[in-house]
Structure 1
């Protein structure tokens, strides 16, 4: 008969039941559980469990322990098994130990059960741990496959795009060559055909005259000669043809085609993993900086705006926007935003309403890259278009001291500046103000002002086809130098000595990078350019330990 779970099975009165005795299989109220049930002989060995714990591990173990006491002997069906034969590995009763299992080593079944239960629990824990680790490894494998597929698909698309470009280029070139050949041929052919017609007419006239003369001279009659008097015009036909033009010889030279498709396979370690990707709706994200209030700022070179933004609820939210065309930005410890603008000797302080003068360099020099180090050191890159030279100016904002040094390289336009923890700097130096083609140069500031520590002009494999074109640069707390290669769409990672270590790009899921920034948590922020059908993105990446 089914038990009425709403009434105590012991007193059949109380409806406030919340206990169950596993051994008695009774539903109990509080009073019966505490007073009446406890009077049963052996009740102290019973297991009583609350209703809300009936499906738990504890309840299952209690039921299994009770079932252990009820295992019937397979040889003596009226007896229960209280022993375990370790030689035969089966439960046995007392009669078995006197008969078929006489002389066998046997122990209490509870001991064997407890040991085996503990061993099974440990093994299950080990299996579950391995499964969780396996799931993590499988997830990593899946992510690797996805990254490899993205890289493969991206490179394949670029190869096919290049193939189509080459086809179109060859088709267009062939059409131009045929047109050029047609023009050469038709021009001469028309003139020569005209001359040919004139020559045919001249020959026809001559042949007519010759025919008349032959007719008179080919007969033996003298009268034939006399009859030609007054009939044959001895005047030669007019020569209306001209000298043929100088012969033009068109030669077809079959050269090896210039195949500009380059595939480089670099076996290098991954440095970062992406944690977030934000769609911005912008055309380009350049010159990202961290502000003191926890927000960030960036430039959009397409519409000449400076924008302030935050990351909130999984989205990139823009808070402020200022229409202003600037070259470079830096943020002071006090929260001032300093900027350089095109063709100016002034460093400006950017406010909500616009810009105001902050510092100036000596004219005709023009400001390029700007960077603040610590509390009061301002580095300013400048060019002198008249004397065709570049340099770095150093302002001590606390003591109003000033230093500078010139750049003695062919790529002398200092577009971006960053500093390491010692105050030494790395500078992006381009060929001119019209191109990103350039290099990275590390300079010592103290004690040897302007001493070159190292130069990096790109990777021999990566930049075999496309020039090294650094557009932004940061230095991590570990001293790694990261720089965006604009034309190759990857980020070069260099050691503190300027040696190439690895790269960040499509394999990590980063496409068309443009700018770099380190946030206060030490994470890398990567601003991108727009790609086909998608707006610019901001990638957040953590460094792999």
Structure 2
């Protein structure tokens, strides 16, 4: 046997894994799979690991059998000691070390096999690689496409605004020019008419004065001749003519004072092109519609990427669906009747069961099985004596719960009741609890959140409702829909990443968008998207609005919004 080993060593010379210089290999560490020379054996025993080094002589058959399975890794020179290669990995410092590193900088540190460490690192890097390929890069691509879409949208909107200004300016110039021409013509007519009246008033008088002047000049000439001639009879006749003429002169009446037009310029203080108003970008378009083969979807909650939880109202069960390209795949189904559902970011599903005061948990282990689960027994949180009505998981992975007093299902909706709003962590620790003792809410049936604010859909009656928003202290910040001008029935609602709230009104079959202060932004008719009989709504992990409907056929619609 020793001859065989010697022949094998002669054919493939082995170097000591520690010093990598000596070919006189006599020992092997079974735990580290290191071949060692006599000098390095003692050094290797001093290397600290989580196990005790089992160093045996190479003549041991165990070493030969195990050595046949050993795999050498690519040798890398130490960055601190250029003449040596890395041989192990320091567990405490998480870095590769050579023999000199072990003796100088990593004494008494626990060492690990490079092969095992590298294999672990490779596995972890492959996991990161998978996350990058399946999640990060697709998200970047989606966000990049969204940025391109927004740039194209704003470029078009800029061109539309500028074209509108130019067209309106041209229209106003033409309209103003026409208006001014009309006003000028009217002024000209009024001035000309006044001038005609002045002529009718002045010209006859001037003609009369001309005649009188001629007659006076004629009489004056006759007076001069009469004086020179000393003709008495001529003087007497002339005197009579002069007295008659003077009577006419004295009898002449003065005309009324004439009026004239004076034009004054007016500054353009009223005339404006218009107003520029900044409007938030909030557009919706339906990109996909699916036939889920469910008879009625009335509850929804986003789960993982392209997966969602839905309740089938008619069959009273809960389904986990996956959107795969252009079809819907049913992954799992639970035969349980739930009042509301939500999911933690860790994958656990939380449900409210009918007539129960506690929230129940469907763990990963449960919903990853292929069998149908008929019940969920693990309690997530107990709200007794209050009855839970609605659930919501925030973007910070906290859970918000609304509760009402016992027996509320049999009281008129228009009467306030005792309501508790509870905020807990995913680890079930209570962050805050707000109690409203018949002074605010009638029946909270839906919850969402905007940052630290809590938005609660409160049913006032079967045909009216409102949205109440609380701050992180439980104080009312604003309400919407609590008067006749903006009354709304809220079947479901979601909040968007940019702090907008979208409400689903099933009676009017519309979506309404509000900003974070409760100001109205926009309305969309769902019939314009071929969405009929809408019941439920949720927002996916990639920020798309999903709407479920109460009929068969295409009853799940994907709406993408630009904001």
**TM-score under structure 1 length normalisation:** 0.45
- Is the radius of gyration larger for structure 1 or structure 2? 2
**TM-score under structure 2 length normalisation:** 0.44
Which of the pair is proportionally richer in helix?
A: 2
